[in-house]
Amino acid sequence: MNEEEIKKTVFQLLKNIAPETDPSLLMPEENIREALNIDSFDALQFIVSLCEKLKVDIPEEDYGKTSNLKSLIGYLIQKTKG
């Protein structure tokens, strides 16, 4: 899966959680949860859906790497390569 496809998936999953927002407008280093007003419960649901959709495992200690688009996309590219 290439960067574009990963980005598309991320936007789609964020849109499912925060339907009234436009995740594609996020700045690369903007805090995703703050910008889209996502609470702790939905943040976990987002990670669950990422794991299921991209068939990766995101351990709890890596949750910090999912906070903004730049680090999240980089992290997922690494993960999906492996």
Partner 1 sequence: MIKFLMPNLGADMEDGVLVEWRKQPGDFLQKGDIIADIDTQKGLIEIEVFDEGVLEKILVKEGQKVPVGSVLALINDGKGEEIRESSGDNPTPEVPKILEPQEQAKTKSTEEHRIKISPLARKIAESNGIDLTLLKGTGPEGSIVKEDVEKAISERIANKPVPQPEEKTKEAPEESVNVSRTTSDSIRMAVAAAMSKSNREIPHYFLEKRMDMSKALEWMKESNKTRPVQKRILPVAMLIKAVAKALDEVPDLNATWENGLQRKNEINIGFVVSLRSGGIMVPAILQADSKTVEEIMETLNDLIPRARAFKLRSSELSQSTFTITSIGEGGADKVFGLIYPPQVGIVGFGEISEQPFAEEGMLGIRPVVDVTLSADHRATDGLIGSRFLAALNKHLQNPESL
What is the closest distance, in whole angstroms, from the C-beta atom of residue 35 to partner 1 in the complex? Answer: 11
Cβ distance to partner 1 smaller for residue 2 or 63: 63
What is the closest distance, in whole angstroms, from the C-beta atom of residue 68 to partner 1 in the complex? Answer: 14
Neighbouring C-alpha atoms within 13 Å toward the C-beta of 18: 20
- The tokens of 19 are what? 């339907």
- Return residues touching partner 1 (CB under 8 A): 18-20, 33-34, 37, 39-41, 43-45, 47-48, 51, 57-61
Angstrom distance (rounded) from CA 82 to CA 71: 17
Cβ distance to partner 1 smaller for residue 3 or 34: 34
Cβ distance to partner 1 smaller for residue 1 or 43: 43
Angstrom distance (rounded) from CA 74 to CA 7: 10
- Amino acid (one-letter) located at 72: L
